[in-house]
Structure 1
Amino acid sequence: MFVRKSALAASVLAGGMALGGGQALAATDILIGGGAVTGVYYQVALQACAIINKQAADKLNCVGRPALGSVFNVNAVSRGLLDFGVAQSDANYNAWNGAADWDGKKVENLRSVFSVHPETVLLVTRKDTGIKSVEDLKGKSVNIGNPGSGQRGNAMDVLEMYGLDPEKDLNAQGLQQGEASRALVDQKIDAFFYTVGNPSAAIEDPANSTQIDLVDVNSDAIKKFVEERPYYVMTTIPAGTYRGVDEPTETYAVKATMVTSSDVSEETVYDFVKTFFDNFDAFKASNAAFKDLDPKEMLDGLTAPMHPGAEKYFKEKGWM
């Protein structure tokens, strides 16, 4: 993988050489793929880069961008189009094991960096739709997530376990999350699936514009599904997390994970991880979904091998 250099740092280097002072080194550009702009993945990418650019501008020039989600980010990292990407723990598992979207095509150069926040599989509806259970989606217009997103895979799993065929039993939409949130308010869809950390603006925004409900995703089949997979856990969204949702909601969760490629240098990953965790309080304070994170627990939920640059830092800290 070629090393990109920031234009600003390159110009400084050129200037320094022209003045005869020339030992300055250009900062390495790194690009992090997040998710929809209303989702927490984008905040992971954005806030991580804010820390990097403030604290390590001499070494790294970081850009966090919205992206299409877990599957897209894993593939883009593997192909060298992204240096880092945020992906669900189930996508991390499936890519490394050659399953699901990567059936028979293991992503050999995928590497784990750290995990972030837990993400719940949510089914959001308006109160006026009469949808009280997953089975009630039959005949309804439902957003299952855009192709390339982890939430689409989760939605397909849920529908299958509840005996629903998205092509025959409902009007399935493939909107990105910002579009889906607006479509729910505008009554263009009846419900949407979304896998996200809580609280999320993608749920708060429609909750502030219309009356919403969260639907339990907790059938016996779901619980068995979770028990058989180490990267899932059953969880509960507390009552009052979102406006108008006054009862707790039982569902299951994955973890967001930061991934990279074995082609990214050990030095680059080490500098990124060290700067991020040495300034972790700033990250925790940047979004409500991060406020309860414990750095020592951010090595959980990872499947692909740890990148040597990340491993070096974690061993220095005594976390592994």
Structure 2
Amino acid sequence: MRLPSTKLLAGTLAGTLLVAASAAAQDRSDWPESFTVGTASQGGTYFVYGSGWANLIADELGLSGGGEVTGGPNQNLALVHTGDLALGLTTMGPAAEALAGESPLAPGVPMDNVCALFPMYETPFSITTLADSGIESIADIPDGASIGFGPAASTSDTYFPAILEELGVNFERRNGGWNDLGGQLQDGLIDVIAFAAGIPIPAVSQLEVQTDINIIEFTEEEQAQVLEAFPVSPFMIPASTYQTLEEDARAVSMWNFTIAGCDLPEDFVYEITKLSMENNDKMMDIHRSAATSVPENIQYNTVLPFHPGAVRWYEENGYEIPDDLKL
């Protein structure tokens, strides 16, 4: 048998690579030239996670893209729905409300052009005060205390006031970015910050370096009462999260997912999902909460349909997407 020459093999290989390269270029013909990821205020986990994820996508896929400061989950849902943002981060509670037309930003408008990509992490609801405030439990929060709930219409601002009202706390409501609220707490302008953000929360980590703080946990009874009244899950903040904690702290949480406009090209979203799900080490370099940004956790989205590009990656890799979560 006559073997093909080295030149012939090289030529065949070069031709194959040229065809593959041409196909790849053709596959990108309908991709956006640039993209933006909706995050939240600076000082929160959404900003760090979302901006880092945007940079990862841009670098690995050779695109122009970045994160954008927004009001958080509710605004991200609205901006992705309208096409003003290609990608964003959201929480399952606001997502369910938006899909049902109950978003506080657009009452009566079902936001049905929003698709899920992959799970991020759980958002614990936690409370921080200065150590010298004398507040060591939720029951210690005095009547009329000024409490910072984060940006207006954020997950924290949507749910935490109602949670504290359920637990009998009377308060004055304040809004602002997490860094700004941290400064106000340190300066004595507010009494408490009620955080709903992935851990470690940058603003809390910064606070405990600069001053002594208390991180307040829910009692077992308070946790059970909140679980009964709201779409949240039990959660324990590991003691290793903050220098201040000496043992795990009881809390409640809500899952976060990345989202995309449902009309984005399937191949584009497939490549983003593939990059994000196959490189957890790079995702954790962005923020350590990405330890749970793994495909096994897609089960925690029971609300939004998955984008067809994401569905293709999951099914190719043995993960089943329920029919009612496919477009």
Query: 2 CA distance for matches of 1:50 and 1:147?
Result: 26
Aligned residue identity for 1:271: E
Aligned residue identity for 1:131: I
**Aligned equivalent of 1:208:** 209
1:191 aligns with 2:196: no
Count of equivalent residues: 292
Query: 1 CA distance for matches of 2:305 and 2:202?
Result: 32
**Aligned equivalent of 1:179:** 180
**Aligned equivalent of 2:115:** 111
Query: 2 CA distance for matches of 1:221 and 1:201?
Result: 26
Query: 2 CA distance for matches of 1:301 and 1:157?
Result: 23
**Aligned equivalent of 1:271:** 271
1:139–1:155 Cα change, 3 Å: same
Q: Report deviation, 1:240.
A: 4.6
Query: 1 CA distance for matches of 2:36 and 2:219?
Result: 37
1:51 aligns with 2:52: no
> What SS does the corresponding residue of 1:188 show, helix, strand or coil?
coil
Superposed CA deviations along residues 118-163 of structure 1, whole A, max 9, x for unmatched, are 1100111111112223243322121122212111012122122113
**Aligned equivalent of 1:9:** none
Instruction: Show the 5 A alignment for 1:87-236.
Output: 87-99=90-102, 101=104, 104-137=108-141, 138-164=143-169, 169-218=170-219, 220=221, 222-227=223-228, 232-236=232-236
Instruction: Kindly indicate which of the two structures has a greater share of residues assigned to helix.
Output: 2
Query: 2 CA distance for matches of 1:202 and 1:145?
Result: 11
Q: Report deviation, 1:241.
A: 2.5
Instruction: Show the 5 A alignment for 1:259-298.
Output: 259-291=259-291, 293-298=293-298
Taking only the aligned residue pairs, the percentage that are identical comes to 21
Root-mean-square deviation (Å): 2.4
1:36 aligns with 2:41: yes
Query: 2 CA distance for matches of 1:292 and 1:305?
Result: 20
Query: 2 CA distance for matches of 1:274 and 1:163?
Result: 46
- 5+ residue gaps in structure 1? 1-21
Q: Report deviation, 1:228.
A: 6.5
**Aligned equivalent of 1:15:** none
Q: Report deviation, 1:202.
A: 1.3
Question: Is the CA contact 2:38–2:85 (under 8 Å) kept in the aligned structure 1?
Answer: yes
> What SS does the corresponding residue of 2:41 show, helix, strand or coil?
coil
Query: 1 CA distance for matches of 2:101 and 2:221?
Result: 27
1:198–1:151 Cα change, 3 Å: same
1:74 aligns with 2:77: yes
Task: Normalising by structure 1, report the TM-score.
Answer: 0.83
Aligned residue identity for 1:95: A
Task: Normalising by structure 2, report the TM-score.
Answer: 0.81
Q: Report deviation, 1:270.
A: 1.6
